[in-house]
Structure 1
Amino acid sequence: MEFAFSTADAAFRNDLVDFLDRELADGWNRSEFGLGSAVFTEFSRGFVRRLADRGWLTPHWPEEYGGGGQGAWQHFVLGEEMWKRGEPRGPQYMNVNWVGPAIVKYGTEEQKKTLLPPITRGEVFWCQGFSEPEAGTDLAALKTRAVRDKDGYVIDGQKIWTSYAHEADYCFLLARTGSAADGRDGISVFLLPLDTPGVEVRRIDGFVGNDSFNELFLTGVRVPEECRLGAENKGWDIVRRTLAYERVGAPRYARAALVLDGLAAWCREAGLFADPGIREQFGDARALCEAARVLVYRVIDERAKAKEPSPKAYQARAAMVQAERAVGDLALDVMGAEALVEKSPGDAQFRNSLGAGIAAGSYEVQLNLISRLILQLPKE
């Protein structure tokens, strides 16, 4: 079995690494910038425009929509190298990984013409309006409603944990257009400009030091029918496909592996690497990072072959959480009190590992999906 990248993709990685070495040479550090902070956002906006100038922001999109037409593997090479550096694109990974592709697949020609070019140029941020106070992992229980009137829809409701909403231009929003009894069959997707009257964004302090969380309140928000993506009451089909891409869209294992290398160097300098128990912990953490990478590659292979998203994405997502947690626990074990110093590599990785099991679908829910869809275990 051949695991090597193609000559073209390997060359792209080399060019990209050279570019990043130059662009991030002035001391880019995600933990120091503060995820979701104004400084972070300003840096990200400038950085993604420089990526876009080279055609590297959306290399996998079709050329007719402003992309490079390069396919899934080049896109993932880009993601790996970005996450190794702490993801300097900020929230743009949502735009390019699944918001844009969802519009390409389900959008009208006018939506594509209006909304896709600003993404390819790196000019806009999007946020995701899915979770609600009583509908987190169970999105079918959402209560935000969009009621038809003669001018389009009136939306009322609340979203929570809406990352980057305080800086975003648009929200990829789920709202109920059918009855509660319809469940998943009564949900629609709206492409909501966040400057629409009736939209209020409130910040939420993050326990792990994350400044990107927000609540989104929608009160009498009027939108035209042209803001709806796809058919009314068919939003769940869009979401199901979208979430399959989102779950592997952030290759967290790449950053965890880089932190692991730094921890190994720290242990050698501290004279700790001679301890066979510590070496075993490093081996276990490295194996988990590599397992996550291979499982994610299976999902990307499906995408490259234009197959429909499969349950393999849930396996890959769970494996990435395990890898991040293993490296975070290892940092605390080997560094001791030094791992608790704010913004140290150990501190940053431990905080990342806390969020890893929640973002893009909780770890426990992924395990339930694996048991039901892959292992086909009976329900208790």
Structure 2
Amino acid sequence: MDLTYSAEDEAFRTEVRQWLADNLVGDFAALKGRGGSGREHECYEERVAWNRRLAEAGWTCLGWPVEYGGRGLSLFQQVIFHEEYARAGAPARVNHLGEELLGPTLIELGTEQQRQRFLPGIADVTELWCQGYSEPGAGSDLAGVRTRARREGDEWVLDGQKVWTSLAQHADWCFVLARTDPGSTRHAGLSYLLVPMDQPGVRVRPIEQLTGTSEFNEVFFDGARTGAEMVVGEPGDGWRVAMATLGYERGVSTIGQQVGFAKELDGIVATARANGTYDDPVVRARLARARLGLDVIRTHALRTLSSVAAGTQGPEVSVSKLLWARWHRDLGELAMAVRGADALTVAGAPYALDDQQSLYLFSRADTIYGGSDEIQRNIIAERVLGLPKEPRP
């Protein structure tokens, strides 16, 4: 793994940095640091406008092929963009699920008709997407989904419930994993369907989180309909398509996530210096371990991306999730330890959390969403180490 940036890469870094400096001004300057996990409610419409500014300037879909509206940039250049975007404090983008997950899935496995229909709206941020995977009885154990879809003439008709559906309240479309073979179990008989959200058969109910915000939702399908052509891959082949999407979930944007993590750690160090806890050798040792852990996460992420680009992806993806999720959860606990009793009170009524309080509360879920730690360990144990499979009911 060669982590050396070329002169062309460094010139690209300068281009990205300059564009962000020139455009994060005026009304957009107020968006710096806004949005992200636990804070998606912040300045949402303004962030949509910002995301569309990015699209107009060609800063969306950087790794997509040019013929599908992307820029065809190298892996390193994509990493550079996400690093510089995070360092500039640019707001969290609203189009992650479409741009980073569904778009690449359609490019790899969709029909040309599906690509022509959906990729332009993702690239210019005029159609937003959510992900219909998890269910009340099938979270990380995705093969247990019970949402069903049946074929009626030229349409699929869906009935069921999804949960933890990020930003469903804003989405125009949802990519849904549903069981289309009534007699099937587990991985067989599933299909990957593209379903419009604005219809009578779809109901969205927000879930209030520990942070007091509601970026997650329950989604109920009660006779919801979509066209027969809105299945990605073949009917019954949804598991393979869903796994391809999950492979894209931990792509280059995670590098920018780690720059955000570093800023959070810097803030905790500043708090420790200000309140004197930095002089405690135990606290100082925990801060040092956090810094080293972040370096390990970044190096591992780059190695993982390099293996994906080379077509030699192995267990690195599951290891990556285990690394960053536990580290970030522990960072929230470290923030509270540094703050002490001050962390127990809010700045104002009714529930005005500061950034470190939100970090602690939201990061409790890090080891659960996106594939729980238990599931990731099972994947590594069974598929990599060849250990016996865990007994299932």
Instruction: Calculate the TM-score normalised by the size of structure 2.
Output: 0.88
What fraction of aligned residue pairs are identical, expressed as a percent? 37
Q: In the alignment, residue 233 of structure 2 is paired with which amino acid?
A: G
1:317 maps to 2:321 = yes
For 1:373, the equivalent position in structure 2 comes to 383
Deviates more, 1:61-70 or 1:282-291: 282-291
For 1:163, the equivalent position in structure 2 comes to 166
**Per-residue deviation, 1:30:** 2.8
Q: Give secondary structure in 2 for the equivalent of 1:223.
A: strand
Distance 1:319 1:87, change over 3 A: farther
**Per-residue deviation, 1:33:** 11
Q: Give secondary structure in 2 for the equivalent of 1:157.
A: strand
Runs of 4+ in 1 over 6 A off after TM superposition: 31-34
For 2:349, the equivalent position in structure 1 comes to none
1:347 maps to 2:357 = yes
| CA-based RMSD | 2.4
Q: Distance in 2 between matches of 1:151 and 1:284?
A: 58
Q: Distance in 2 between matches of 1:250 and 1:361?
A: 15
Distance 1:350 1:195, change over 3 A: same
1:173 maps to 2:182 = no
Query: Among residues 273, 290, 293, which one is paired with 2:295 in the alignment?
Result: 290
Where structure 2 has 5 or more consecutive residues not aligned to the other structure, the ranges are: 347-351
Q: In the alignment, residue 320 of structure 1 is paired with which amino acid?
A: W
Q: In the alignment, residue 201 of structure 2 is paired with which amino acid?
A: G
Q: Distance in 2 between matches of 1:174 and 1:378?
A: 28
Residues 338-357 of structure 1: CA deviation (Å, up to 9, x unaligned):
33444323212213321321
Q: Give secondary structure in 2 for the equivalent of 1:185.
A: coil
Map 1:58-207 → 2, pairs under 5 A: 58-83=61-86, 88-207=91-210
Residues 205-263 of structure 1: CA deviation (Å, up to 9, x unaligned):
11233321111111112222111111110011111121122135544332221111122
* Contact preservation (8 Å) 2:140, 2:370: no
Where structure 1 has 5 or more consecutive residues not aligned to the other structure, the ranges are: none
Distance 1:229 1:29, change over 3 A: same
Q: Distance in 1 between matches of 2:342 and 2:84?
A: 28
Q: Distance in 1 between matches of 2:164 and 2:247?
A: 20
Q: Distance in 1 between matches of 2:56 and 2:187?
A: 40
Distance 1:377 1:83, change over 3 A: farther
* Contact preservation (8 Å) 1:339, 1:345: no
Deviates more, 1:281-290 or 1:179-188: 179-188
* Contact preservation (8 Å) 1:159, 1:217: yes
For 1:10, the equivalent position in structure 2 comes to 10
Q: Distance in 2 between matches of 1:338 and 1:123?
A: 43
**Per-residue deviation, 1:267:** 2.1
**Per-residue deviation, 1:97:** 1.2
1:359 maps to 2:369 = yes
Q: In the alignment, residue 8 of structure 2 is paired with which amino acid?
A: A
* Contact preservation (8 Å) 1:267, 1:273: yes
Distance 1:290 1:32, change over 3 A: closer
Deviates more, 1:74-83 or 1:132-141: 74-83
Q: Distance in 2 between matches of 1:139 and 1:125?
A: 23
1:240 maps to 2:237 = no
Deviates more, 1:277-286 or 1:61-70: 277-286
Deviates more, 1:237-246 or 1:339-348: 339-348
Residues 112-137 of structure 1: CA deviation (Å, up to 9, x unaligned):
11100111112221100001111111
* Contact preservation (8 Å) 1:63, 1:69: yes
Q: In the alignment, residue 230 of structure 2 is paired with which amino acid?
A: C
**Per-residue deviation, 1:318:** 0.7
Query: Among residues 323, 335, 341, which one is paired with 1:337 in the alignment?
Result: 341
Q: Distance in 2 between matches of 1:137 and 1:83?
A: 29
Distance 1:129 1:304, change over 3 A: same
1:276 maps to 2:286 = no
**Per-residue deviation, 1:93:** 1.6
* Contact preservation (8 Å) 1:31, 1:343: no
Distance 1:124 1:76, change over 3 A: farther
Residues 287-340 of structure 1: CA deviation (Å, up to 9, x unaligned):
1111111111112112322x1643210001111112212221211111113334
* Contact preservation (8 Å) 1:83, 1:254: yes
**Per-residue deviation, 1:9:** 3.1
Distance 1:8 1:95, change over 3 A: farther
Q: Give secondary structure in 1 for the equivalent of 2:96.
A: helix
For 2:331, the equivalent position in structure 1 comes to 327
Q: In the alignment, residue 9 of structure 1 is paired with which amino acid?
A: D
**Per-residue deviation, 1:368:** 2.0
Residues 11-35 of structure 1: CA deviation (Å, up to 9, x unaligned):
3333333444451533533369973
Q: Distance in 2 between matches of 1:254 and 1:87?
A: 12
Q: Distance in 1 between matches of 2:65 and 2:40?
A: 30
For 1:41, the equivalent position in structure 2 comes to 44
Q: Give secondary structure in 2 for the equivalent of 1:148.
A: strand
